[in-house]
Structure 1
Amino acid sequence: MLLPPDMHRWSGRIDSAEGGAGLRWHQVVRPLAADAAGLALLGFACDAGVGRNHGRTGAAEGPTALRAALGNMPVHHRLAIHDAGDIVCRPDAQGDGLEAAQRLLSETLAGLLGRGLAPLVLGGGHEMAFGSFGGLARHLAAAATAPRIGIVNLDAHFDLRLADAASSGTPFRQIAEDCAARGWQFRYCCLGVSEFANTDALFRRAQSLGARWMLDEEMQAHRFETVRALLVDFLSDVDHLYFTTCLDVLPAAVAPGVSAPAARGVGLDVVEQVTDLLAASGKLRVADIAELNPRHDIDQRTSRVAARLAARIASRWVAARSTHG
């Protein structure tokens, strides 16, 4: 179900002596209105897919924790930020309610995109990816020609697993099947893949689907030009971008509050450079942040990192939209 925004969750420091230059997110965010324009935050309070994938549950609490961390973020640009509420996954007649939550996410995102908003989804398990892509696909499906959609996933895992039921480990395999059914090309780039967290079957499936990837150990700050070259080439072949960040791409010391903490991971400095490049590309249509699990966080480290990345996406994305139109 879609719950309306609870604006009481937005709070933080107030520097009244600083005037307009001292504003923080909790002072500028507004509930989504009919005439809203700019950034739309949508929570996906679900970890049914994580549970099905035998991971550590608790990501359903992610949207609340992420908003709490975002509230105190300073506003450095003229941002119009709107809270569109939360999609909450609840058991239904079919079971844990995952598929219904994914459908509702898809429908809601398509509606936000149809209104010209920039949707940033706050998760929640990475099963959200199937709904996030689905929303963009619904929005673009009426085009006369097949849309060229690119997916960039910052993640330690391919999430291309074969399974009897959907889970947080299957969304990009589901997206590939959806693209095939529509007659669209599946364009997928996964950055930060761990050789030791993905089976040979997953690497072979990624290859057979034409996916592109870089291993976590290849994504180092002093080698970022290699990462940049891959992304620039990938973006040259797409018109629309779905950018998803699974927080387990980061080292466990930086992001302990996830379903599957990374033994190595990719440094935050590299993740931020990737984020900047993609958010400023002029092609970003939907972004999300997945796998924030406050239940297993330490000193709110993961929430703070997630908020930093969300604020970074927002500022670069809004600036790019004003430049590219």
Structure 2
Amino acid sequence: MHAERPDMAAWRGRVDPEADALRWHQCIQPLAASSPPGVALLGFACDEGVRRNHGRVGAAAGPQAIRRALASLAWHRRGPAYDAGDVACADGDLDAAQRQLGARVAELLAAGHRPIVLGGGHELAYGSWLGLAAHLHDARQPPRLGIVNFDAHFDLRDPAGGATSGTPFAQIAAQCDARGWPLRYACLGVSRASNTRALFRRAAELGVLVREDREIRESSLAALGAELDAFVAGCDAIQLSIDLDGLPAWEVPGVSAPAARGVALALLEPLLERLRDSGKLRLAELAELNPAHDIDQRSARVAARLVHLLSLDG
């Protein structure tokens, strides 16, 4: 890996006296070129796309806030976990930051790691996809790369005026079209109030699997799980994208665009576990944590719990 050694300052927490009572801060290691395969946390310290999208900036501080919240959570992994440092966008060059994120993701995948990208604005999804696409590229046969996005927004807005946090999946769709690759995109938790008719039409034209926030409830979880299973069965690999603004504002207030309704964490977890255990999950990402607008670290704690859930390996 070419990355600089990550700053491990966030990995601090309590130490318990009992045997077998380890926590994340005691087990996570800085990533090195010789590190055996494991989960690799890679920060995207960027909210340039949020700024361009006229959202509340502050998500660039999200990766460190997630690390701090994760540090004292109990360790239940069997395999190793690593901190792979951050990709930043200090100069406002979002395109370059997305390309750098893609290069880092591709390196992690080539080394056998499972990246979990910590955001940062949702513009990270395009950078992550570039890395996964480079890793899966096969000139003989186009990969069937599926994207499952838990989000209140489609993020399919026209990128003609430049990339933003609202354009990543439109950029991915354009790349798939240019490469002759199939686009398999599922967006779950969509808020009809927050997406225009034009965006719903665009999603229909692209064949997006859409489930609105009001459709995700306890009584529908089994049917939704079966739909996800069928979606995953048609893919070679899955990119999981979680925009924290898809959860209710009372659970996750620290985001660029808080959700008036959202999908509760208790409903998301069984669906995420299904994807984690599918055998096809290659990459996960959490977007839009904005510590500047968080309350009692609620949002950071939810994000940390999601990283913990996605990291479990039996």
TM-score when normalising by structure 1: 0.94
Q: 1:85 maps to which residue?
A: 85
2:267 is the counterpart of 1:270: yes
Q: Is the 8 A contact 1:2 1:87 kept in 2?
A: no
Q: 2:99 maps to which residue?
A: 103
Match of 1:151 among 136, 147, 154: 147
TM-superposed CA distance for 1:9, in Å, is 1.6
Q: Is the 8 A contact 2:6 2:86 kept in 1?
A: yes
Q: 2:43 maps to which residue?
A: 43
TM-superposed CA distance for 1:3, in Å, is 5.1
What is the identity percentage for the equivalent residue pairs of Structure 1 and Structure 2? 54
Which secondary structure does the structure 2 equivalent of 1:22 belong to? coil
Deviations along 1:196-227, whole A, 9 cap, x unmatched? 00000000000001111100000011211121
Q: Is the 8 A contact 1:3 1:88 kept in 2?
A: no
In structure 2, distance between residues paired with 1:122 and 1:258: 14
Which secondary structure does the structure 2 equivalent of 1:90 belong to? coil
Amino acid at match of 1:74: A
Match of 1:290 among 284, 287, 299: 287
TM-superposed CA distance for 1:306, in Å, is 0.3
In structure 2, distance between residues paired with 1:259 and 1:9: 23
Q: Is the 8 A contact 1:3 1:87 kept in 2?
A: no
TM-superposed CA distance for 1:2, in Å, is 5.8
Change (3 A) 1:22 1:219: same
What is the RMSD of the two structures over their aligned residues, measured on CA atoms?
A: 1.2
Q: 2:5 maps to which residue?
A: 4
* Runs of 4+ with deviation above 3 angstroms: 1-4
Q: 2:191 maps to which residue?
A: 194
Matches within 5 A, 1:201-220: 201-220=198-217
Q: 1:323 maps to which residue?
A: none
TM-superposed CA distance for 1:143, in Å, is 5.1
Deviations along 1:276-304, whole A, 9 cap, x unmatched? 01011000001100000000000000000
Q: 2:224 maps to which residue?
A: 227
Q: Is the 8 A contact 2:3 2:84 kept in 1?
A: no
Q: Is the 8 A contact 1:14 1:23 kept in 2?
A: yes
Deviations along 1:51-103, whole A, 9 cap, x unmatched? 00000000000000000001001012323011110001111xxxx11111100
Deviations along 1:233-266, whole A, 9 cap, x unmatched? 1111101000010001100000000000000000
Amino acid at match of 1:289: L
TM-superposed CA distance for 1:142, in Å, is 3.2
Amino acid at match of 2:5: P
In structure 2, distance between residues paired with 1:39 and 1:85: 13
In structure 1, distance between residues paired with 2:177 and 2:299: 36
Q: 2:25 maps to which residue?
A: 26
Q: 1:68 maps to which residue?
A: 68
Which secondary structure does the structure 1 equivalent of 2:90 belong to? coil
2:296 is the counterpart of 1:309: no
Q: Is the 8 A contact 1:61 1:293 kept in 2?
A: yes
Q: Is the 8 A contact 1:4 1:86 kept in 2?
A: no
Matches within 5 A, 1:128-147: 128-142=124-138, 144-147=140-143
In structure 2, distance between residues paired with 1:79 and 1:217: 37
TM-superposed CA distance for 1:166, in Å, is 0.6
Matches within 5 A, 1:234-249: 234-249=231-246
Aligned length: 311
